[in-house]
Structure 1
Amino acid sequence: MSILLPMLITLCAYYFSRFIRTNSIIIFIFALLLSAITILVPNSIVTTFIANGTIGVTFLLIVMFTGALKKGSKIKKQLSSVRNEYAILGFIFITPHAYLYIYESIVNQIPLEIMGILIYILLLPLFVTSFKLIRNNIPTSSWLKLHRLSYFAYLLIFLHSIRVTEFRHIIAYSILFGTYSIIKLNNYFEKHSIIKATAITLVVTTGSIFLITDFDSYLNVPYNIMEGNEFEDGTYIGYSKGFHNSDTVVRVQIENNQIKYVFIEDCGCTPNVDQDKYFDVAFDIANEIKDENRTDIDAISGATKTSIAVNNAVIDALEHALVK
């Protein structure tokens, strides 16, 4: 579904651009209603993709790539005709995502995602000046200067996206934004442009992955501590780092070298609109560890960090029980 939605939204821009322009006010009102419903009911089948930012970012990515397409091409002409409308829709649909995460951060007393807030602040003036009524009252040169902020916003969206997502999505975002970067930078160099553009993009992308993400956590692969070891009976507490280095805490009871139970004290899941999913994953991994009596349970797709963290927390607990 997360792949089909961007394709569908792009196809709508290409084949129904005239309809979108003609009925833009109605579409904006409908988008506002959907966004309001998302804030009230964020976890339904429809609103989940708005709440997690997928739809809002998709509109913004289409706006982003439209500017990089070859001048004079038919696809650029079609997409450019609804670029303002898509920029407005992107901001409308990103608003519930921003509101929900800020709300959850305040309620659960966790640090705010400053990069995400900065993106929203940057997008606000771009959103306002995308309306024709506002744009027509601003000198063209001033409008263009203001909208150069969008390049900085795109960079922050990339950094924010790879910071808060799973490894498989990090690769996807890197390819997506890397492609855009190469296309745009290619236009700024006269000689060896594609080589220079690719080199700069690779340096920025790989550097961002290592500096912004918890990349090392994906390399900390759990092992089966039960294999070939003896343990003292008892109950032990174990710790590891979960999503964004949040603490994962477990209580483990072992008897006759058999894990009797694994209790999740804290799953290390950052509270957000998908929190129930990650809580469920943590408990599923804990139950598998107990049932299979091993600590290298395969990660569940879409919750890799949580899966690894629970495994490693149980390993940490059992290390205290090892018979020396």
Structure 2
Amino acid sequence: MDFVIRNLGVIIAPVLFLLIYFFSKHIHRNQYKYELGAFILANFIILIQPRFFNIQIPFLNLLITSGHLSLAIFLLVMFTGVLKKNSRAKKALSLVRGELAVIGFIFLLPHAFARLALALSGYNMSGLFAFIIFIPLTITSFMFIRKKMNPKHWKNLHKLAYIAYFLIYIHLAFNISANPINRFIRLDPYALLYHFILLLYITLRIIYVIIPRMKKNKNSKPA
């Protein structure tokens, strides 16, 4: 049971994908309604945390405060870029990739708020660093802001997402303390799925991104 709880984000990602696959057009048409709904729910969860009203809703704590829903959403955002070109899955996810990035960040807020003191004490700070990187990426995911940016600058900025994703991997796969009183680096015993996800992402990126790009560059060179 502990394994399931610790890997819940990975487990619910396929279910979330199916929902998005069938409702991507509806999400895209109603982008701001979904984002507003996520924002209201995220703030409600922050308010019921112990430092405020201390209301226990186990389902919301497990799904959102623990960061699992946000992780599931970011996994879909991340894997959109390495799916086979013109596949139905890639088309469905690409349509709402920006919306998912914003909603994923919104649902990350309760988790970040709940764990901020722990991160500032030096424990698993990689999550905090990833959160900071996500701030400008989320802001520039809004289309009205993206349109005002130079496309090249926008693309270069969003390459920081790779660093953020790797920091999330470190955050999930290892237990690290930088506290001077108690420094340690330990492999999380429940992190097997996260190692698999990293290897799968690298493999798909090589197959569907790097190799086609190399072939394209080779064919474009004059004989």
* 1:129 matches 2:150: no
- TM norm structure 1: 0.54
Match of 1:146 among 142, 153, 157: 157
Distance 1:144 1:85 in 2: 17
Distance 1:175 1:112 in 2: 24
Q: Which residue in 1 is equivalent to 2:19?
A: 12
Q: Which residue in 2 is equivalent to 1:114?
A: 125
Q: Which residue in 2 is equivalent to 1:188?
A: 210
Where structure 1 has 5 or more consecutive residues not aligned to the other structure, the ranges are 191-324
Match of 1:65 among 74, 79, 98: 79
Q: Which residue in 2 is equivalent to 1:36?
A: 43
* 1:23 matches 2:12: no
Where structure 2 has 5 or more consecutive residues not aligned to the other structure, the ranges are 50-55, 176-186, 213-223
Q: CA RMSD in A?
A: 2.0
CA 7–41 in structure 1, closer or farther in 2 if over 3 Å, else same? farther
SS at structure 2 position matched to 1:90: helix
Deviation at 1:21, TM superposition (A): 0.9
Q: What are the superposed Cα offsets for residues 61-100 of structure 1, whole Å, 9 maximum, x if unpaired?
A: 1000010001111111111101000000111011111111
* 1:172 matches 2:187: no
Deviation at 1:163, TM superposition (A): 1.7
| 8 Å Cα contact 1:41/1:47 also seen in 2 | no
Q: What are the superposed Cα offsets for residues 16-44 of structure 1, whole Å, 9 maximum, x if unpaired?
A: 01110111111111111111122123552
| 8 Å Cα contact 1:102/1:112 also seen in 2 | no
| 8 Å Cα contact 2:172/2:188 also seen in 1 | no
Deviation at 1:15, TM superposition (A): 0.3
Aligned letter for 1:188?
Answer: I
Identity, in percent, stands at 31
Aligned letter for 2:130?
Answer: I
Higher helix share: 2
Relative CO higher for 1 or 2, CA cutoff 8 Å, sep ≥ 6? 2
Q: Which residue in 2 is equivalent to 1:93?
A: 107
| 8 Å Cα contact 2:77/2:100 also seen in 1 | yes
Aligned letter for 1:127?
Answer: T
- TM norm structure 2: 0.77
Aligned letter for 2:131?
Answer: Y
1:122-271 aligned at under 5 Å gives the runs 122-164=133-175, 166-168=188-190, 170-186=191-207, 187-189=209-211
Q: Which residue in 1 is equivalent to 2:53?
A: none
Distance 1:105 1:160 in 2: 11
Deviation at 1:157, TM superposition (A): 0.8
Distance 2:171 2:104 in 1: 16
SS at structure 1 position matched to 2:86: coil
Q: Which moved more, 1:39-48 or 1:17-26?
A: 39-48
Q: Where has structure 1 moved over 4 Å in runs of 4 or more?
A: none
Distance 2:119 2:156 in 1: 34
1:257-296 aligned at under 5 Å gives the runs none
SS at structure 2 position matched to 1:47: helix
Deviation at 1:104, TM superposition (A): 5.2
* 1:46 matches 2:59: yes
Match of 1:56 among 70, 81, 86: 70
Higher strand share: 1
Aligned letter for 1:113?
Answer: N
Distance 1:25 1:151 in 2: 26
Deviation at 1:189, TM superposition (A): 5.0
Larger radius of gyration: 1
How many residue pairs match? The answer is: 186
